[in-house]
Amino acid sequence: AVITQNVDRLHHKAGTPHDRVLELHGTTHEVHCLDCGHMMARSELQATLAALNPAAAQEEARLRAGGGPIVSGGGSSIAPSQSSSSSSGSSNSGSGSSGGQPSSQPSQGTAPMVVPVMRPDGDVELRDAGQGFVVPPCPQCGGVLKPHVVFFGDNIPKPRTERSLALARSADLVLVVGSSLMVYSAYRLIEAALGNSAQVVILNVGPTRADKVATAKLAVRAGEALMRLATHPRLLLPRI
C-alpha cells in the first residue's frame, strides 16, 4: 500500500490502484460541506465557479495560455515586462482575481486581474480582494464547502488514522520517500511499524524525525531513486 501525505493524486495518475492508496491528508480533487458532509468532485465545483464568475474564468484561461498578470504599484497598472519589480509582483498571480469586476483595461480581449507589488518581506496589500466573486454554497443544504484536505490545526478523520496505523503494523518493510516525518501523523506510522519489528528505510535529502531509529537511510532525491527503480526493475529483486 501507499500512504501519502500529498493531496494532488499523482499516485493515482502514475497508475497505482486507487484501493492501494491512502491519502492521509485528503485530496484537493474533492470538496465537502462543513455542515452536512456532502462530498462532490472539485471539477464539478470548478464548473459552477466558472458559470458564476465568467470574468474570473476568462482570466484563468488567459493565465493558463501564458498571459502574465497586470502588476499594480503606486496607483498605476503596468505590464510585468515593463517593470523591474515584475518578478515579485507576478509571483502572486494565483489568488487576486477581480472576479466579476476587473479594475484594469482589457488585454488580449479579456479583463486581466490586477496584482499588487509584493514587498521584500513577502507582504502584499490586497484592496477589495474577492469583491464581486461569487462562491457557491453546498448544493444539498446551502452550507459552506471546503477542500477535502486536512489543513494545519485540523484533525485527520479517525477511520483514516486507524487504517493508516493498521497498514503500518502489518508491514514488514516501510519505505519513507521524500518526507521529513516532522508531523506526528506521519511519524507515528513509523512507531507503529517498528513496534511490529518492521524495517524502515528512508530516502530523503536532509534530516528526518526517524533518522535515529531507521534501519537505513539514503540521502538521495526521491524522484531520481524511484526512477532508477522503475527503469531497472531487477534492482527490486533481493540479492541471494
The residues annotated with a catalytic role in the active site are 25
User: What does DSSP assign to residue 18?
Assistant: G
Cβ atoms 208, 217 nearer than 8 A: yes
Planar angle of CA 28, 29, 33, nearest 5 degrees = 80
- Terminal Cα distance for the chain, rounded: 25
Taking each helix axis from N to C end, the angle separating 158-170 and 184-194, rounded to the nearest 10 degrees, works out to 30
| Euclidean distance between CA atoms 196 and 171, whole angstroms | 8
On whether 138 is known to bind a ligand per the annotation, the reply is yes
For residue 216, which phi and psi values (nearest 5 degrees)? Answer: -155, 155
Give the dihedral sign, CA 219/220/225/226.
Answer: positive
198 is in an annotated binding site: no
What contacts 233, CB < 8 A, 6 or more positions away? none
Cell representation of residue 155: 484533525
Residues present in the chain in total? 240
Tell me the three state secondary structure of residue 231.
helix
* 6 annotated ligand-binding residue: no
Half-sphere exposure (CA, 13 Å, Cβ side) for 4?
Answer: 19
75 known member of a binding site: no
Binding site membership: which residues?
Answer: 33, 36, 138, 141
Binding site membership for Zn(2+): which residues?
Answer: 33, 36, 138, 141
